[in-house]
Amino acid sequence: MKTIVPKIDQIDRKWYLVDGENEILGRLASQIATLLRGKHKPEYTPHLDLGDHVIVINVDKIKVTGNKLTQKVYKRYTGFPGGLRVRSLAKTLQERPERVLFHAVKGMLPKNRLGRKMIKKLRVYAGTDHPHQAQKPEVIPDSLRRI
C-alpha cells in the first residue's frame, strides 16, 4: 500500500457560501477553519494546502454566548510608549464585524506560511451581498456543516 500525495494540478478547489446569521462565533469559525485546511477531503495532507475557498455573509448577525460581549477584549500595540489599544468585542462587532470572524478563524489555522496561505481563501462580508457570484459558490451541505 502506498501513500498518495496529490500534485498541485490535481487539487480540486470549490467555493462554499456560509450564512453567519444566528450562528455561534466559535463553532462557525472551527467549521470554516476545517474547510480552509481541507480536512473534510479524503486526500488531506497536513503539510499541503488542499482547502477550499469560503465566503461568509451576514457576519453582523453572528451570536456569542455568555458574557463575551463585555468581557472579551482585543488588544494591539502600536509600538510607541503608551500605545496599547484595547477594544471590547461588542464595540468591534458594532464597527467592524468582519474582523471578529476573521480573527477567530485565523487563530485556528497553522501559525506559519501555510496558514497565511490558507487565510487568503477566506472572504467575509457583513451584509448579504458579495462580489463572488461568478465563482458559483455552493451552500455547505449538512454533511460538511457538522464536522
Tabulate helix, strand, coil % of the chain (nearest 5): 35, 20, 45
User: 7-11, 44-48, 82-86: which has the minimum mean pLDDT?
Assistant: 7-11
- Give the span between the Cα atoms of 93 and 137, in whole angstroms: 26
Strands 122-124 and 53-57: parallel
- Is pLDDT above 90 for 10? no
Percent of the chain with pLDDT over 70: 99
Q: Where does the chain hold its CATH 3.90.1180.10 domain(s)? A: 13-62+106-141
Class of domain 13-62+106-141: alpha beta
Largest pairwise CA distance in the chain:
60
pTM of the predicted model, to two decimals?
Answer: 0.92
The residue-averaged pLDDT of 5-10 equals: 86
C-alpha cell at position 113: 506560511
The residue-averaged pLDDT of 91-107 equals: 96
Label residue 132 by pLDDT band (50, 70, 90). Answer: very high
- Is pLDDT above 70 for 113? yes
Label residue 146 by pLDDT band (50, 70, 90). Answer: low
